[in-house]
Amino acid sequence: MILLDRVILLRFLGSFLLLFAIFFTMAVALDVVLQIDEFVDVSKEAVAAGRYESLPVAVTVAILDFHGPRIFQFFGFVVGLVAVAAAGFTLSSMVKHRELVAIASAGVGLVRVGLVILAAAFALNLVALVNGELVLPRLAPMLLRKHDAILARGLREYEVPLTRDADNALLRAARFDPEGGRLVDVLLLRRDESGRAVSRISATAADWDEASSSWILEGGEAIEIRPVGGETVAAGQVVRTSRPVERFETDLSPAALLVRRSAEYAQLLGLVELQRLREDAGPAGDVLARTYYARFAQVAVNLLVLAAVLPCFLLREPRPLLAQSAKAAAIAVPGILGSMAIMTVELPGLPSALSSFLPAALLLPIAAARLAWLRS
């Protein structure tokens, strides 16, 4: 039995690697064709700056530089669909060559073949989880680059609009360097429960200190605003006092600012960072919670869809494989892509955890019924 398991496992993994390479190459080729002007323009600038000797070399490096890190992101995105396709290719070959007939004739249930494939798919999904926890967060600055930043080493600086933190304070900066964790021309407004500003802090620059969860201010000055006599009075009857300030404690870390700007960045964070940031009371809190639970829910969805598809190919006698493949595609494509869509959309009245696992809960009885009716 160990020999049979090993043969099935090697065939499945070989099909997975081949299909993954084909899909990734097609995705890269399509993007290069659609964005060839961007690749050529940045390559011409690199050649003019003396960084590369010729335009073909520069274009090749630009494509590898832009799409090379994306192979890890692509793996996490398509692992479920490619596993289903690899299972289909593996079992179709075994049906065509009557291998499943021989296995059944030897008294081995076809469920055993399916369990080997499910175990291999589970291992691949665990690799995807490790990839999302250890690799993607380190590559996030490169993965968030747009085509106009090809050959750049990370994210470009951008302006931070007024952004609310968990304490109802507002932060604004003329420029933000995501990689260096530095703000330039900073404005901070502390507010009371009614939303009225009680202090205004300005600084020429600020650097993030992870240990104290605060921005260390350069040239920081706070102007306290309080009504005369401590009571709420008419406009203009306030006292303004100025004092130097060195730091500003807030939950708006560089990672949190990137999450506010780009929902895609949240998908590139590790689970530990998501757990820390998802307690944020700001508008990104629900997005982070759904992203956190979706990491685990996606594994369940991938395995349940695969379990529902396996009976299409676990056949005791040969059948037309085209019809079986069409049936499998009708189950797998809507099942995985539809589940991903549901997990990213806020469902009113449902907690984030429940909405994330809702697709898996719907797929569970379908997969169980498909396996229960399997004639093995």
Domain that includes residue 323, residue range:
2-34+69-144+285-372
The answer on 317 and 292 residing in a single domain is yes
| Domain annotation covers residue 280 | no
> What is the spatial distance between Cα 316 and Cα 95, in angstroms, rounded to a whole number?
8
Q: What is the dihedral of CA 357, 351, 293, 368, to 10 degrees?
A: -10
Q: What is the pLDDT of residues 37-63, one digit of tens each?
A: 989 988 888 888 888 888 999 999 999
Does residue 164 surpass a pLDDT of 50?
A: yes
Residues 6+ apart with CB under 8 A from 294: 343, 344, 356
Total structural domains in the chain? 2
Quote the pLDDT of residue 34: 93
The answer on 226 and 162 residing in a single domain is yes
Q: How confident is the model at residue 233 (pLDDT cuts 50, 70, 90)?
A: very low
Q: What is the pLDDT of residues 93-102, one digit of tens each?
A: 988 888 888 8
The answer on 108 and 18 residing in a single domain is yes
> What is the spatial distance between Cα 362 and Cα 304, in angstroms, rounded to a whole number?
10
* Domain end position, chosen among 240, 257, 274: 257
Place of tokens 């998908």: 267
Q: How confident is the model at residue 109 (pLDDT cuts 50, 70, 90)?
A: confident
**Cβ(38)–Cβ(148) under 8 Å?**
yes
